Amino acid sequence: MKRKRAIFWQMAVIVLLFSLAVTGCGAAGGAPSDSKTEYVIRLGHSDTEDNLINVSLQHYADYVKENTQGRVVIRLYPNEELGDNTDMAQQLVTGQLDAMMMPQGVEATYAPKIATLGLPFLFTSYKQAWAVVDDAEIAKGLTEGLSDYNMIQLAFWENGMRQITNNVREISVPGDVSGLRMRIPDDKMTEAIFRALGARTTVFSWNRTYDALKQGTFDGEENPIANIYANKINEVNQYLTITNHKYETKNMVFSQSTWKKLPKDIQQVLLEGASIYGKEHREAVAAQQDSQLEELKKAGMVVNESPDIDAFKVATRGVYTDFELQNEWTSNLVARIRNVISQN
């Protein structure tokens, strides 16, 4: 009888270990969706379920499942369900999370050169920005350092050209920003820009920003139109100013703890899909910007599409100087970026 019990428990342990091996991919949890599933990848991000980035991520998940014949299932966790962007990035470092959509401000903590993309008024169009991130040599340099923190970037995705909203006054010149209590993301470049404009900045979780604006904790925030629209910021901020003061990517980054466990054929599918749907996402952001802006106007938002951009450039010039003093590679990298811009 004792021998039978011992055999039973030995078999139970073997089954449990097998189940964990099949299901798990780094921090992946939960049971497989069907018998074909070998890997479940948890991917977190900070945007809402109806945001354009989540739509393209759903397409990406479908693509991966189909092209791996069901061996890989990607589970999406939007709206900071797994923590804010800073928290999720740390989970990649420790291997607790498989993947996330990482804003470049957070990514710059680990790969400092990527912050260069956010220098004020560096780009005047999406075409210019995309030409730079599509340049293989520049792109490789921008993500340099991620591997030191157990991370690998699969593809550049989009966040967009950033605009200013607030509930105090219309913004036309830099002085109008002075004194405003601004919610900002965890992004040193954004902080530098708005401090140069005289704002009072606070880093604050994005999924709590709507309520904070509604309660008057902040006067305003800054984001691409797609995010302003998806998060209904028009309901809590009256004024929107089209400054395009900063361009930002939001990129697909995996934990190396997960990535190294995946077979080469699955890695290839993940890479190809990340590129395909990253481009789908960025094109959707640009294509829908005008219609989303019109919807915001119809909803009652006061939109200033012609602020004094030259004055804003002058007011933020010192951000370049400070960035160059902090990083000896800045001048060369900015020159290479501007060379690509000049051809687009």
**SS3 annotation, the chain:** CHHHHHHHHHHHHHHHHHHHHHHCCCCCCCCCCCCCCCEEEEEECCCCCCCHHHHHHHHHHHHHHHHCCCCEEEEEECCCCCCCHHHHHHHHHHCCCCEEEEEHHHHCCCCHHHHHHHCCCCCCCHHHHHHHHCCHHHHHHHCCCHHHHCEEEEECCEEEEEEEEECCCCCCCHHHCCCCEEEECCCHHHHHHHHHCCCEEEECCHHHHHHHHHCCCCCEEEEEHHHHHHCCHHHCCCEEECCCCCEEEEEEEEEHHHHCCCCHHHHHHHHHHHHHHHHHHHHHHHHHHHHHHHHHHHCCCEEECCCCHHHHHHHCHHHHHHHHHHCCCHHHHHHHHHHHHHCC
pLDDT tens digits, one per residue of 264-321:
999 999 999 999 999 999 999 999 999 999 999 999 999 999 999 999 999 999 999 9
In percent, the amount of the chain with pLDDT more than 70 equals 90
Mean pLDDT along residues 143-153: 98
Domain 17-342 annotated CATH 3.40.1260.10: no
pLDDT tens digits, one per residue of 183-220:
999 999 999 999 999 999 999 999 999 999 999 999 99
> Which pLDDT does position 35 carry in this prediction?
76
pTM score: 0.90
Domain segments of the chain: what residues?
A: 17-342
pLDDT tens digits, one per residue of 234-265:
999 999 999 999 999 999 999 999 999 999 99
